[in-house]
């Protein structure tokens, strides 16, 4: 799978570790994130990853900031992106199964390494369930077209 990854200054160290994890798992990585911990504006990096996912230049995206919330708000402004701010295994899994999330957002500050690794593994392996959930995702697409 091809995964675009982005981060602001708060997520630089975590991003470097996540890139290594993704590569070990056999994924191709497109790094759209900040390279240092020098202060930057998270919407710039959320937009970069969201555009790569929206344009289908990557299968999925991962965004990392202080809480994951700002990144998800910004990324969700891009048509075709369903970014979910997740904080544990269940939210990561259900964001895929029920919402077909194509961008995972999470906190660099509030989550430990093992939890982040588990969330990413679960999120990348989980398929969209479809069924009644497809109808709901279609309604989201209709809202985007409004």
CATH code where residue 63 lies: 3.40.1400.10
**Number of domains within the chain:** 1
CA distances from 120 to 43, 63, 87, 108, 109 (A): 22, 11, 11, 13, 16
How far apart CA 15 and CA 32 sit, in angstroms, is 10
DSSP state of 11: G
Q: How would you classify residue 115: left for phi > 0, otherwise alpha for psi between -120 and 50, otherwise beta?
A: alpha
Q: Which residue segment(s) compose the domain that 130 sits in?
A: 2-145
To the query of whether residue 86 is one of the catalytic residues in this protein, the response is no
pTM above 0.75, yes or no: yes
65 noted as active-site residue: yes
What whole-number distance in Å separates Cα of residue 113 and Cα of residue 115?
Answer: 6
> Beta strand pairing status for 60-65 and 103-107?
parallel
pLDDT band at 146 (very low <50, low <70, confident <90, very high): low
- The single residue of 32, 65, 86, 105 carrying the catalytic annotation is 65
40-74 pLDDT tens trace: 999 999 999 999 999 999 999 999 999 999 999 99
Q: DSSP 3-state assignment of 112?
A: coil
């Amino acid at each position: 799978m091809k995964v675009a990854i982005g981060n602001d200054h708060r997520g630089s160290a975590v991003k470097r570790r996540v890139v290594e994890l993704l590569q070990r798992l056999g994924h191709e990585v497109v790094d759209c994130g900040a390279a240092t911990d020098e202060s930057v504006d998270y919407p710039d990096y959320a937009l970069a990853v969201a555009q790569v996912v929206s344009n289908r230049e990557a299968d999925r995206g991962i965004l990392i900031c202080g809480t994951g919330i700002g990144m998800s708000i910004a990324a969700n402004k891009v048509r075709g992106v369903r970014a979910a701010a997740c904080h544990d295994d269940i939210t990561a899994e259900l964001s895929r199964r029920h919402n077909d999330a194509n961008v995972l957002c999470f906190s660099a500050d509030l989550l430990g390494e093992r939890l982040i690794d588990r969330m990413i593994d679960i999120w990348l392996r989980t398929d969209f369930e479809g069924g009644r959930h497809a109808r709901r995702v279609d309604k989201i697409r209709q809202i985007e077209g409004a």
